[in-house]
Structure 1
Amino acid sequence: MHAQVVVAIGQNFTGSTYGDISQALPPDANGAIGPSHFVEFINGTVAFYNKTNVQDAVRITDVDFWTETGLTISSASAVTDPRVIYDPTSQRWFASQVDFNATVTDPTRAANNFLLAVSATSDPTGPWQGFRFRADPSTGRFADFPTLGVDANGVYISGDFIHAQTNVGPGLVSIPKADLLAATPTIANRTWFGVMSYTNRGQVLQPAICFDGSSTGSVLAMGDIGNDSDPHSNVVSFAVQNAASPGATLTAPTSINVSPYVVPFNSDLGYPLFNPVQPDGSTTLQVNDGRISAKVYAIGGVLYAVHNTEVNGRIAIRWYRINAATHALLESGTIADSDLDLFFPSIAANAGGTVVIGYNGSSINTFVSCFAIVGATVNGVTTFGSPVLLQAGVVSYHDANELLAQLLDDPVTDSRWGDYSATSVDPTDPNRFWIIQMYPSGVDSSSGFDVGIWSTQISEILTANPVLSITVSNANAVVSWPGTAITFNLESNTNLLAANGWTVVTPNFSTNNGQVYYQTSLTNGVRFFRLHKP
Structure 2
Amino acid sequence: MATAPLVDCATESPLVGFPCNQDTPPDTQYAVGPTAAVEMTNGSVSMWAHSDQTPFGSLISRVSEESFFGSIFGAAPGSFVFTDPNLLYDSASGRWFASGLVFDNASQQEFVLLIVSQTSDPTGTWNKFQLNPKAGVLRDQEKIGVSDDKVALSWDEFTSATSPPAGVVLVIRKSDLLAGTAPASFLFGPDASRPFPLAVRSLSPTTTQLVVYNNADPQVTENKGAPTLGVMEFTGTPPNVSMVEFDPAIQGRAMGPAASQPGGAPGIQTNEDRLLSASWQNGTLWVAGNAGCTFPPDTTDHSCLGLVQATTSASGVVVTQDTALGQPGVDSYFPALTMDPSGDVVVVATESSSSSPASVVTFAEPVGASFGPPSVIQAGLGHYCNSSCLAPGETAVRWGDYSAAAVDPLNPARLFVAGEYDASATDQLDWGTPPPTPTPTPTPTPPASPGYWFVASDGGIFSFGSAGFFGSTEATPLNQPIVAMAVTPTRNGYWLVARDGGIFSFGDAPFLGSTGAIHLNQPIVAMATTPSGRGYWLVAADGGIFGFGDAGFFGSTGGSHLNQPIVGMASTPTGQGYWLVARDGGIFSCTHLNQPIVGVSTTPTGHGYRFVAADGGMFTFGDAGFFGSAGGSHLNQPIVGMAAPDAGGYWLVAADGGIFSFGDAGFLGSTGGTHLNRPIVGMTG
- For residues 365 and 261 of structure 2, the distance between their equivalents in structure 1, rounded to whole angstroms, comes to 28
What is the aligned partner in structure 1 of residue 182 from structure 2? 187
What is the aligned partner in structure 2 of residue 502 from structure 1? none
What is the aligned partner in structure 2 of residue 463 from structure 1? 441
What is the aligned partner in structure 1 of residue 291 from structure 2? 309
What is the aligned partner in structure 2 of residue 514 from structure 1? none
Shift of 1:356: 0.5
Shift of 1:474: 11
Match runs of 1:21-100 below 5 Å: 21-22=12-13, 23=20, 24-51=23-50, 52=54, 53-73=56-76, 75-100=78-103
Q: Any unmatched runs of 5+ in structure 2?
A: 14-19, 295-300, 445-603, 606-622, 630-644, 649-662, 671-684
Shift of 1:223: 1.6
Shift of 1:240: 1.7
- Out of 405, 412, 416, the residue aligned to residue 430 of structure 1 is 412
Amino acid in the other structure paired with 2:361:
F
Shift of 1:20: 1.5
SS at match of 1:99: strand
- For residues 356 and 28 of structure 2, the distance between their equivalents in structure 1, rounded to whole angstroms, comes to 21
What is the aligned partner in structure 2 of residue 285 from structure 1? 268
* Contact 1:320 1:331 survives alignment (8 Å): yes
Amino acid in the other structure paired with 2:115:
A
Shift of 1:241: 2.0
SS at match of 1:471: coil
Would you say 1:235 and 2:232 are equivalent positions? no
* Contact 2:384 2:430 survives alignment (8 Å): yes
- For residues 342 and 263 of structure 2, the distance between their equivalents in structure 1, rounded to whole angstroms, comes to 42
What is the aligned partner in structure 2 of residue 395 from structure 1? 382
What is the aligned partner in structure 2 of residue 452 from structure 1? 429
Shift of 1:283: 4.8
Shift of 1:77: 1.5
Amino acid in the other structure paired with 2:155:
G
Would you say 1:247 and 2:247 are equivalent positions? no
Q: Any unmatched runs of 5+ in structure 1?
A: 1-8, 265-273, 445-449, 483-490, 499-530
Cα distance change on mapping 1:235 and 1:171 into 2, 3 Å = same
Identity of aligned residues (%): 23
* Contact 1:229 1:263 survives alignment (8 Å): no
What is the aligned partner in structure 2 of residue 356 from structure 1? 346
Would you say 1:495 and 2:667 are equivalent positions? yes
SS at match of 1:442: coil
Deviations 1:419-470 (Å, cap 9, x if unpaired)? Answer: 00011111122211100101011167xxxxx542011122310126493865
* Contact 1:21 1:61 survives alignment (8 Å): yes
What is the aligned partner in structure 1 of residue 202 from structure 2? 210
- For residues 18 and 100 of structure 1, the distance between their equivalents in structure 2, rounded to whole angstroms, comes to 23
What is the aligned partner in structure 2 of residue 383 from structure 1? 370
- For residues 118 and 290 of structure 1, the distance between their equivalents in structure 2, rounded to whole angstroms, comes to 30
What is the aligned partner in structure 1 of residue 191 from structure 2? 196
The structure, 1 or 2, with the larger RCO (C-alpha pairs under 8 Å, 6+ apart) is: 1
* Contact 1:219 1:239 survives alignment (8 Å): yes
Deviations 1:218-264 (Å, cap 9, x if unpaired)? Answer: 1100125684799972221112221x33232322x332210122125
* Contact 1:45 1:61 survives alignment (8 Å): yes
- Out of 120, 129, 132, the residue aligned to residue 130 of structure 2 is 132
* Contact 1:120 1:126 survives alignment (8 Å): yes
Shift of 1:111: 4.1
SS at match of 1:38: strand
Would you say 1:419 and 2:401 are equivalent positions? yes
* Contact 2:137 2:158 survives alignment (8 Å): yes
Shift of 1:189: 1.3
Deviations 1:66-105 (Å, cap 9, x if unpaired)? Answer: 23324325634210000001001110000000112579xx
What is the aligned partner in structure 1 of residue 168 from structure 2? 171
Would you say 1:114 and 2:112 are equivalent positions? yes
Would you say 1:324 and 2:306 are equivalent positions? no
Cα distance change on mapping 1:226 and 1:48 into 2, 3 Å = farther
Shift of 1:308: 2.0
Cα distance change on mapping 1:149 and 1:101 into 2, 3 Å = same
Match runs of 1:475-494 below 5 Å: 492=664, 494=666
Q: Which has the higher strand share?
A: 1
TM-score, normalization: structure 2?
A: 0.60
SS at match of 2:227: strand
- For residues 182 and 26 of structure 2, the distance between their equivalents in structure 1, rounded to whole angstroms, comes to 28
Amino acid in the other structure paired with 1:314:
H
Shift of 1:289: 1.6
- Out of 135, 141, 147, the residue aligned to residue 137 of structure 2 is 141
Amino acid in the other structure paired with 2:279:
Y
Cα distance change on mapping 1:282 and 1:256 into 2, 3 Å = farther
Amino acid in the other structure paired with 1:223:
N
- For residues 246 and 627 of structure 2, the distance between their equivalents in structure 1, rounded to whole angstroms, comes to 60
Cα distance change on mapping 1:217 and 1:453 into 2, 3 Å = same
Q: Which has the larger radius of gyration?
A: 2
* Contact 1:152 1:211 survives alignment (8 Å): no
Stretches of 4+ aligned residues off by more than 4 angstroms:
228-232, 479-482
SS at match of 1:158: strand
SS at match of 1:179: helix
Deviations 1:246-292 (Å, cap 9, x if unpaired)? Answer: 232322x332210122125xxxxxxxxx3111112345211212111
Amino acid in the other structure paired with 1:261:
R
Shift of 1:150: 1.1
Amino acid in the other structure paired with 1:31:
Y
Deviations 1:473-532 (Å, cap 9, x if unpaired)? Answer: 999xxx9969xxxxxxxx94542329xxxxxxxxxxxxxxxxxxxxxxxxxxxxxxxx9x
Amino acid in the other structure paired with 2:234:
V
Cα distance change on mapping 1:173 and 1:358 into 2, 3 Å = same
Cα distance change on mapping 1:133 and 1:472 into 2, 3 Å = closer
